[in-house]
Structure 1
Amino acid sequence: MNKTFKIYAVIFIVVMVILALLEVNKKEVTDWRKNFDTNEKSPFGLFIFDHEAKDLFKNKLKKIDQTPYNYYNTHKKESHNILVVETEVDTESWNKILDQVSNGSDAMLIVSQIPKEVSDSIGYYDSEISFADENVLKLTDKKYKNDFIKLDKFPSGRGFSYIKPQVEILGKTVEKNNSDQANFIKIKFGKGNIYVHCEPLFMTNYYLLKSGNIKYAQDVFSYLDDKETIWFVESNAKVSRFFMRFILSNPALKYAWWVLLGGLVLFVFFNAKRKQRIVPVIEPLKNTSVDFVKSIGNLYLQEGDFHDMMAKKAQYFLNKVRLDFLIDTQNLDDEFAKKLQLKTGKTIEMINEAINLIKKAQDPYAHVMKEDLARMNKLLDEILK
């Protein structure tokens, strides 16, 4: 074993030890992802709801980790309730659920995005998004007028913008600067009913632990009849947080990983005995792009047409906004400024100043100075960072 091999071996061992120490000593951080997992105690998990669900449904709740398609193929059920909470469901499974509802069962879908299979079957409506930081969920029934829940952390802001006459509105989202929008509806389907609520956050740990919020959840589920409820959940297997959990959880990837490590060890072992021959130095081709850009810039400065330069810079910036942030740039109004501020994270003052300079650049009769060009160039580059 020569000196080179020892060096490689030490480096490899040190790297693995560092990775292990980082994994063991990493600080616990709050996971604000909307996972809707019944095992998760993070803010947007469903651990609390899962714990209280038996009492909420009077011990008539049954959790199923099969797909509705597989479950109903092997189980013949009388009239019952069906609950789906922000879970991936395939087309065949939705058809099975709709078959059960048409035969007299009731289904409650608490999902932020309405599946096309459902909307096509029960009536067409759009789902829209609000960007408000806070909103309030209320029910339309007068007996529930004192029961509401305030969403102050990452509300989805989803609602139904078009409702057919036969659809009954049971709940709405209330915001300060926007009109109320329906978020909880009921549709008669065959012999049963379909309830759709498009804001599942009210069931998460963060909101259920706040005083008084549990009453809103009780009111929502009170629309279901007092009978057996089938809750279709995803697999309840506890997910490891180890950074290589995905690779090690798949047999093929796990074997490939060990083969890779073994190959690296063999490579280092045999390569250490060989000396790399001298590689001739080849001068790379010179990149003249920067010189070309400098030359074009000098021509513009010599002409002194700052207005044209500002117009081209504004045109390039708006094109980047359309491509990278998917924001319509036809109207540079307050709504455009708000969307750009949300996408970039910059201050609204910076955004508004940049918009004023862009409008000045687009005005063929505006008087433009060199300082205007420099300021706009600095602001637009800062926004696109």
Structure 2
Amino acid sequence: MSKNFKIYLGVFLVILAIMGIFQVNKKPIVDWRKNFDPNSKTPFGLFVFNKEADHLFGNNLERINQSPYDYYSKEKETPKHNILIIEKNLDTESWRKILDKVNSGSSAMLISRSLPEMLEDSLKFRLWINNSDTKYNLEFTDVKLKTDTLLINRLPDSRGFTKINKSIEILGYNKTSGFGNDEYKNANFIKVKHGQGYFYLYSEPSAISNYYLLKSRSAYPTKLFSFLPQQKTIWFTESKSAGNSQSPMRFILANPPLRYALYIAVLGLALFMIFNAKRKQRIVPIVEPLKNTSLEFVKSIGNLYLQEGDFHDMMAKKAQYFLHKIRLDLLIDTSNLDEDFIKKLHLKTGVKIETIQEAVSLIKKAQDPYSNVMKEDFIKMNSLLDDILK
């Protein structure tokens, strides 16, 4: 190593250390943007709600990461269900699909600070916006829920509904204090009949954000969803960044620590190339790579098993490997292959429950030392397990 190179390396390390000190002492910046992203841990993200949603809806909640139009175009026949939309800018055709489903008897809860004009025209209401930063209380009109209130005092934007049709039922409002003892109430939660079903429109998504769910112990957010019928709920959680590039480079640039690490790496590589541009590359001898005989070994073992015809042993080993992968990759307990195991595997893989049930049945057969296993059983189980692990 030359003397000049040591000097350059020392300077680079000093710069790197100084940048590291500044980064360590840098105060974290809190993102107060109202993104309402189910995976965001920022104050106005929905990470906490997303985590508790299954329990809140009685484990009868299905998350759909596509638009309502795409989902309902594929699912031709769907029984009556609840539709949950939280702060989404959907396309017109998706809104038409939702209107059709509610008209047929389903219920839809729309939690959003803005709604399309075509929906306002169809349901006969208008969304009212007050840009005042005055804090206010969220309350229900039902006297049984009188004590369940929530104070909105962080970045309030006080939105509600106006020009409400007489057939529309008001379920909740936000209440602000005026001069003296005056109080002002604005409807922010309404129930609108449409065909055979109902729309539940709520204009305050901040109430179910991370900030208020963790800061307040009020039962208000829980009671908000109690108005929905007791039936399956479909939550359309399609990412707001759908259509944007999801490349690794975009992910790196979106995270400050990774972005700084990339800049430092590029700078270091540039300095290295500049200071070593005049160095001559020695001839690199050609070294033949070691021959990989692993595939030949696997084929030999496979042929040995086929000659023996011991399909029961092969089936048991395949099942053992599959359960090991499930524990390692999906973190699912495989000690009991019951209905709870089947449901968890279905939720994490997206594979149909019928397919998983058939696979579990064959796994149990493979684990039974006294079962009669045929070649067709092994081929069928091998195909099902490969499909689940894709």
Q: Normalising by the residue count of structure 2, what TM-score does the alignment of the two structures yield?
A: 0.56
Aligned to 1:234: 238
Q: Which of 193, 199, 205 is the matching residue for 2:204? A: 199
Aligned ranges for residues 1-385 of structure 1 at < 5 Å?
26-75=26-75, 76-177=77-178, 179-214=184-219, 216-235=220-239, 245=251
Cα separation, 1, equivalents of 2:22 and 2:68: 42
Amino acid paired to 2:188: N
Alpha-carbon distance, 1:41 to partner: 2.1
Distance 1:20 1:93 in 2: 48
Give the C-alpha shift of residue 19 in structure 1: 7.0
Aligned length: 262
Contact 1:39 1:46 in 2 (8 A): yes
Aligned with 2:177: secondary structure? coil
- AA in 2 matched with 1:77: T
CA RMSD of aligned residues (A): 4.0
Q: Is the 8 A contact 2:125 2:161 kept in 1?
A: no
Query: What is the one-letter code of the residue matched to 2:29?
Result: V
Secondary structure of 1:180 counterpart:
strand
Distance 2:15 2:74 in 1: 52
Helix, strand or coil for the counterpart of 1:77?
coil
Once the two structures are TM-superposed, the CA of residue 207 in structure 1 deviates from its matched residue by 1.0
What is the match of residue 318 of structure 1?
Answer: none
For 1:186 and 1:205, the matched residues in 2 are separated by 26
Q: Give 1:196 shift.
A: 0.4
Q: How far did residue 170 of structure 1 move?
A: 0.6
After superposition, the Cα gap between the structure-2 partners of 1:96 and 1:244, relative to the gap in structure 1 and judged at 3 Å, is closer
Specify the code of the residue in structure 2 equivalent to 1:55. Answer: H
**CA 1:236–1:165 in structure 2 vs 1: closer, same or farther (change >3 Å)?**
closer
Question: 2: distance between equivalents of 1:47 and 1:198?
Answer: 19
Q: Deviations over 1:331-360 (max 9, x none)?
A: xxxxxxxxxxxxxxxxxxxxxxxxxxxxxx
1:126 is displaced (CA, Å) by 3.8
The AA in structure 2 aligned to 1:191 is Q
Deviations 1:265-298 (A, max 9, x none): 9xx99xxxxxxxxxxxxxxxxxxxxxxxxxxxxx
Q: Which runs of 5+ in 2 are unaligned?
A: 1-9, 256-262, 276-390
1:22 CA displacement: 5.8
| CA distance 1:236–1:87, change in 2 (3 Å) | closer
Aligned pair in 2 of structure 1 residues 194, 243: CA closer, same or farther (>3 Å)?
A: same
Contact 1:159 1:183 in 2 (8 A): yes
- Sort the Cα spacing of 1:204 and 1:18 in 2 relative to 1 into closer, same or farther, 3 A: same
After superposition, the C-alpha distances for 1:220-272 in whole angstroms (9 at most, x for unaligned) are 111111111000113399x99x99748689xxxxxxx9xx99xx99xx99xxx
SS of 1:69's partner is: helix
C-alpha distance in structure 2 between counterparts of 1:92 and 1:28, whole Å: 41
Q: 1:140 to 1:196 in 2, by over 3 A?
A: same
Cα 1:202–1:126 change in 2 (3 A) is closer
Distance in 2 of aligned mates of 1:109 and 1:51: 19
Instruction: Give the TM-score, by structure 1 length.
Output: 0.57
Q: 2:22, 2:97 → 1: CA distance? A: 47
1:92 and 1:17, CA in 2 relative to 1: closer, same or farther beyond 3 A? farther
Q: CA deviation at 1:153?
A: 0.5
Q: How far apart, in 1, do the equivalents of 2:254 and 2:58 lie? A: 41
Contact 1:113 1:127 in 2 (8 A): no
Which runs of 5 or more residues in structure 1 are unaligned? 1-9, 250-256, 270-385
Q: CA shift at 1:166, angstroms?
A: 1.3
Deviations 1:286-312 (Å, cap 9, x if unpaired)?
xxxxxxxxxxxxxxxxxxxxxxxxxxx
CA distance in 1, matches of 2:113, 2:253: 30
Offset at 1:213? 1.8
Matches of 2:84 and 2:98, distance apart in 1: 10
Per the alignment, do residues 248 and 179 of structure 1 end up closer, same or farther by CA in structure 2, a change over 3 Å counting? closer
The 8 Å contact of residues 115 and 127 in structure 2, kept in 1 or not, is answered as no
Q: CA 1:44–1:14 in 2, change beyond 3 Å: closer, same or farther?
A: same
Alpha-carbon deviation of 1:142? 1.1
2-structure distance, mates of 1:116, 1:155 = 23
Amino acid aligned to 1:194: F
